[in-house]
Every structure is written in structure tokens, then in C-alpha cells.
Structure 1
Amino acid sequence: MLPVPPALAFIWFGPKEVSTACSLGFFGYQIGVATSLLVNPLLVRDHENIEDIGHDLRVSAYGVAVAATAILLLILFFFRSRPPTPPSSAALDRANAAPDRVLSVVRRLLHMCNFLVLLSAFSLSYAVLNAFATLLNPVILTYYENGEEFAGTVGLVLIIGGTVGAVICGFILDRTRRFRETVLVVYALFLASLASFAVIVHLGNRALVYAVISVMGLASGGFIPVAMEFAAELTYPEPESASAAFLTAAGQSAGVPVTLLHGWLLEAAGHGWAHAALCAQLAAGLVLTACVSPDLRRTRAYQRRPPHTLVQ
């Protein structure tokens, strides 16, 4: 689902709304994650009888299946692939262009050095976020006795912060078109909040933990749509879904070894060294981000001419 918002935003919205629309797509995704964190613990309880747990899991699974089926039917019967009039000159060019082969698109993307640098920076950030979120519980439980509920709440605050950060960053991009600067700011804020968490988590002050996690959520959640919009700018006229899919795949792939490494360091060397390794990876990603040239190809396409009615 992650590559969908950039593509839909480009097709349906003009240059002054496209980044906000993309961010709202991620807002919906994050709301879904936050809802699952709230609802599933209420549906699936811990019982002495394992069959009772299985019953709760079935209720949860059937509920998800019914909701997903209803959404699928709504999309099949009511969702239109594009508006009758393209919202921008860039969207008009894309609509009038002949369909391209997937392998040709992939080959061209792999030859764009600017995009590959951003891809590397994104994969480091996404992998660090995955590793941090996956191993948040054991870190919290190390310093807070019987802190299972506290750890769950911290994870929820991280997700909620991400939803707010995504919308704020999208709004900023539509007003300023400062893609590189926005990416650098949220990346640096992510690094600063991650380093701060390592310092304050052992102090026993839950309010400080919530404050730092809120900032981390704003930065990490805002970084994802900003990076995907920046990638769309760098790779135009290639489809936004293609560049977004590359970013998602790279981030998820990097997340597996980074999470395993972080878990091993957590057990072998303790939280301090494990967290230092994550901060070092984010610092490397920040340096890579600073090396990306702001070649805004899509913005230049927006400025060429006003959109015309698309001939079907």
C-alpha cells in the first residue's frame, strides 16, 4: 500500500495540493496502524485456555476480512482511475504518454545517481525506524518494571506523532517546494530525537519519554512522504508508484538485517551500544541526504503550461 499515495496524489491533485494529498494518504495508513494497536488488545485477551485465545484471534481476523472486503467492493464499483481533466500539465503529459515496459522503467531508475543516493538514505532511515519500533518493548522493560502497558502506549504515541508529522510536512512542501531542505530537517530531527531517547530512557521520567517519542514520531513519520515526494521530483517523468516502490522495498529489505543486528547488540553489549549503532546509521543517512541535488524535474513540468482537457 505504501507506493499508492504518491501515484494517486499526482493523478488527482495539482502542484499546490499534491504533497498534502500524498501525506494524507500516509495519514490514513498510520491511523490504521494506530487503530490496530488500540483494538486488537481489546479483542484478543490472554486466557488460560488456548482455545479461548484462538476464538479471540478468529474474531479479530474475521473483522479485518469483512472490513477489507467492504473497502474492496467500494473501490471496484465507485473508484475512478483518473479525473476527466488532468489537474496539471505534468499529469496531462503522463496521461498522453504511451505505456512503458516495467523493466524499462526499472532500468532507467537504476541509472539515476541522484535517486540512488536518496534511496540509500531512505533505506537507512526506514531500517532504523523498523529496528527501533520492533525492539522498543525490551528496551522499555529494561528500565521500567512491569512496563508492558507503558511500552504499548509509547509505541502508540510514536505512530500518532507520525500521522501528524506526515500531514505537516506535506503542507510545508506544497507551500515552499523546498524538498531537499525539508528532508534534511526531518532527518536531522529524527537523529536528534533518537540520540535523546538513549539519554533519557534510563532516567525513569515517563513524561520525558513521551515528549522525545512524540518528536521522533513527527520526524520519522514526516520523512516517509517527504522522501517519496522528493523521489517523484527527481525521477519524473517515471511513474511515482515506481520510485515509491523502490523506496519501500529498499527500506523493508534493509530493515531485516538492521533489526537482527540491533537485537544482537542489545543482548551482547546492552542498550547504549545498540542505540549508538542506530544513531551512526542515521548519521550516515543524513550525510547521504545532504549529497542529493535538488533537481526538481516534476516542478519544472508543472510550470510549462496549464492543463488541458484530456481527450479520452
Structure 2
Amino acid sequence: MWVTFAPCLYIFTEYYFGKVNDWTVNGIHALSSVYMVLYPLAVHFAFPVFESRGGLRRGILLGATLNTLAGVVRWFGAVPSLSGYIVLVMGQTLAALGQVFMLAVPPQLAVVWFPDNEINLATALAVNANNIGIAIGCLWSPWAIHATTMLQDIPHLLYRQALMTVLVWLLVWAAFRRSPPARLHVVNATTLTPSQPYHYGLLFQSRNFMWMMVAYGVMFGAQCSIITLIDQLLLGPFAKEVTEDQVGKLSCAMLMAGLPGSILVARFLDQTKRYRPACLFLATLTSLSLLGLHLSIEYHCFTGVALSCVVFGLASYAIAPAIFQYAGELFYPIQEVVPTGYLFLVGNIVGASMVTLMGMSSNPAATFPMRLPLLHLILLMVIANVAMAMVRGPLLRSQAA
């Protein structure tokens, strides 16, 4: 639902505003940015939902319910007018609130439900399930919506997405009817005082966590920026060679590449627990892929663009589950949902800022409108690599098992 609009940016702009300019384009970008804006404001209030026994199931069901309501409201907003756009924003806002209860769940879910030698694989699959959904969205929108038939296509798309949210809610309800098995490496929330698992100040007193937030914040911001602004990145320099449909397929390939990369890294980590070198390697590969993307656009090589985007997807989406479980190891016995939630918090703040600043600092008159914003992104990724290298410490959860 987050990525519905970016692959068909200009079609949605015409549909709701009737004209394309910086303000109306940013209005459609706001439908994605609202996710990144609301998450930091609401995530702290979501943590108590997960505290008590049964909190994991309760939190996931709440997120799925909000997502279902969002799908219905978005469908009501499928009217080509400013009022329709306002209703659509309301639906996106509900969906953004729903993600507050979902994004940080995979590491906690893996620790609660899976044995020690499958925790990273379970985390990788759960995190990438979200990315696969985004990939499908990148492919679905250009396939379902065309400029000449947008008055029929857009309402049909939003209706089908609303039906999908209902199906997801039913699947979540069915999947969590039984209780998880007991695991030795899970902290029993019912035996801990509030100052133990949810003493958030302990995290912010840790230099490791500060460096980790810098590294993950920039990498998540890079993901948000590339996937949201990919039309602006490519349609200018490759206007005669590339269509919005092809850009959508490239976005899909970029997101799908993260799944095999995540599985390979997860199997390695389940066997070795070598989180630090794995995260450093993936952060470096992410930076190099962005440099390759810039050079490929500069020298007008679309093959290089496609290769760089796939490598970027493989590396940047594989590092997220690794960092989440690395945090769970370093900051045990704080439950995994807390550091993961705060990492997403920083990521959403940085992501929203980067998408906005990169979009506003583009030069539409230039052949390569996003040259300067992309160079700034590469510089930030170098800083993220340095921050990731500063993270080190004992794996407390493994030592306690």
C-alpha cells in the first residue's frame, strides 16, 4: 500500500490534481512519506501493547485491523478530485498507523516461535515478506493503471487492494490462534519489572546503539529515497528508452533481489553468529551499488543502472534483518521489538527527510535532474559505513542461551 503511487507518479498526479508541477508531484509523494512521518510519532506508544503475555498476537492483529480499515478508506478516496485526495490521505494515514505495530515485529516473532539455529532465517523471511509486497506493488500499479484509462483503472486497483487487506486480516487471525512454543532464549515478560525490558534509556546510553541508529537510519533512508524517487532518477536521463512500466519492473527486481541475499546471509549468521563482518560487508556493497548507479546514469548506461539497482536491493534489503538480530544480541535482555522499533523510528525520520530534500533539490531542467541529490546520498552512505564499523560488543543473548 505504501508503494502504490510512486511507480505511476504522474498518472496519479493527473488523476487527482489535473496538472503536473512540483507541488502536485510532492502531493503524491506525501502519500508515501506519511508512513515515514507517523512512525516516529507513534511507535513509542505501541511498545506497551507487546509487553504482557499474548502481546505479540494482540499487536499484530491490531496492525492488521488498521490496515484493513485503511484499504477501505483508500477505496472511498478513488475520486478524481481534491476531496478524493483528502480521503485517500486519510486512508494512507490509517495504513501508516497500522505499520507501527508490524514493522518491528519480525525479530521478536522469530525469537518467540523459532529455535536458535533458525532465528535469522525466520527474521529474513518475515522482513522480506514486506519487501516482496512492495515489489508486487511496484509491478501491480504500472500493470493495472494506464494514462488513457485511469478513470476506471485507479478505482479498480484501490478496490482490489481493499479486498487484499481483508484477506490478510483473516490469515493473521487464523495463524495466531495457537500459542508459540517456549524458548530458552526468550525473556519471560511476565516475570520482569517495567524497568528491565522497557527501560528505553539504557539503549540511548549505549554508544553501540547510537552508531547503529546512524548506520541503519541512513541505509533505510537510502532505500526509501531510491524506491520513492526512482521515476525522477531515471525518466529524465532515459526519457527515450524507458517507460514508467519498465521502471516499475526494475523496482520490483530491486526489491526481489533482497530475498535471496537475505536468505544467504541469514543461513551464514545462524551458523556463525558473525553479525559484525556480515553487516560491514553489506553496508560497503550498498555504498558501491549507489556509486555504480550514479556513474551508470552519468554515462547513460541503462544496463549498468539495472545491475546497480539489483545489487543495491540485494545488499540494502539483506542488511536490515541482520542488523535487527545483531541489536537483539547486543542489547539482551531488552526485547527485540524495542531496539528494532527505535531503529525503524530513526530510519523513518531520516527516510522522510531524505525523500523530501532529494525531491526538492532536483533540477528538472537538467538532463540528469537528480545528479546532486544522488551524490549527497552516496556521501551519507560513506558516513553510514563508518558508523557500522564502530558497532562492536559481546553477543549477550547467545551467551545467555
Tell me which interval the TM-score lies in, with the shorter structure as reference length. 0.7 to 0.9
Match of 1:204 among 300, 307, 323: 300
Alignment map for 1:137-286 (pairs within 5 Å): 137-146=231-240, 147-148=242-243, 149-267=245-363, 270-286=369-385
Letter matched to residue 280 of structure 1: L
Alignment length, in residue pairs? 295
Match of 2:226 among 127, 132, 137: 132
**What is the DSSP-based 3-state SS (H/G/I as helix, E as strand, rest coil) of the residue aligned with 2:199?**
helix
Letter matched to residue 214 of structure 2: S
Letter matched to residue 185 of structure 2: A
Letter matched to residue 58 of structure 1: P
Distance in 1, Cα, partners of 2:326 & 2:192: 24
Which residue in the other structure is 2:393 paired with?
294
Distance in 1, Cα, partners of 2:173 & 2:204: 34
Letter matched to residue 297 of structure 1: L
Distance in 2, Cα, partners of 1:13 & 1:122: 25
Which residue in the other structure is 1:309 paired with?
none
1:211-263: per-residue Cα shift (whole Å, max 9, x none)? Answer: 22111111111111111111111111111111111111110111122222222
Match of 1:115 among 209, 212, 228: 209
Aligned CA RMSD, in angstroms, stands at 2.3
Distance in 1, Cα, partners of 2:126 & 2:140: 21
Q: CA deviation at 1:76?
A: 2.5
Letter matched to residue 203 of structure 1: Y
CA distance 1:76–1:134, shift in 2 (3 Å): closer
CA distance 1:150–1:203, shift in 2 (3 Å): farther
Match of 2:131 among 30, 41, 65: 30
CA distance 1:252–1:98, shift in 2 (3 Å): same
Which runs of 5 or more residues in structure 2 are unaligned?
1-101
Distance in 2, Cα, partners of 1:28 & 1:100: 32
CA distance 1:150–1:70, shift in 2 (3 Å): closer
**What is the DSSP-based 3-state SS (H/G/I as helix, E as strand, rest coil) of the residue aligned with 2:248?**
helix
Letter matched to residue 90 of structure 1: H
Q: CA deviation at 1:104?
A: 4.1
Are the equivalent residues in 2 in contact too, given 1:179–1:294 (CA < 8 A)?
no
Are the equivalent residues in 2 in contact too, given 1:12–1:82 (CA < 8 A)?
no
Distance in 2, Cα, partners of 1:44 & 1:272: 29
Distance in 2, Cα, partners of 1:127 & 1:238: 25
Work out whether 1:21 is the aligned partner of 2:117: no
1:137-165: per-residue Cα shift (whole Å, max 9, x none)? Answer: 12212221242233222212211112222
CA distance 1:77–1:131, shift in 2 (3 Å): closer
Are the equivalent residues in 1 in contact too, given 2:198–2:334 (CA < 8 A)?
no
Relative contact order (alpha carbons < 8 A, sep ≥ 6): 1 or 2 greater?
Answer: 1
Are the equivalent residues in 1 in contact too, given 2:218–2:384 (CA < 8 A)?
yes
Structure 1 stretch displaced more, 145-154 or 181-190: 145-154
Letter matched to residue 229 of structure 2: L
CA distance 1:264–1:62, shift in 2 (3 Å): closer
Distance in 2, Cα, partners of 1:215 & 1:143: 21
Are the equivalent residues in 2 in contact too, given 1:11–1:82 (CA < 8 A)?
no
**What is the DSSP-based 3-state SS (H/G/I as helix, E as strand, rest coil) of the residue aligned with 1:190?**
helix
Letter matched to residue 304 of structure 2: L
Q: CA deviation at 1:195?
A: 0.7
Distance in 1, Cα, partners of 2:172 & 2:371: 47
Which residue in the other structure is 1:307 paired with?
none
Letter matched to residue 153 of structure 2: D
**What is the DSSP-based 3-state SS (H/G/I as helix, E as strand, rest coil) of the residue aligned with 1:109?**
helix
Distance in 1, Cα, partners of 2:308 & 2:222: 16
Which residue in the other structure is 1:40 paired with?
141
1:156-215: per-residue Cα shift (whole Å, max 9, x none)? Answer: 221111222222221221122110111100000000111111111233333222222111
Identity within the alignment, %:
24
CA distance 1:253–1:294, shift in 2 (3 Å): same
CA distance 1:101–1:64, shift in 2 (3 Å): farther
Distance in 2, Cα, partners of 1:250 & 1:220: 16
Distance in 2, Cα, partners of 1:177 & 1:60: 43
Match of 1:62 among 144, 150, 159: 159
Distance in 1, Cα, partners of 2:338 & 2:258: 23
Which runs of 5 or more residues in structure 1 are unaligned?
303-312
Structure 1 stretch displaced more, 39-48 or 112-121: 39-48
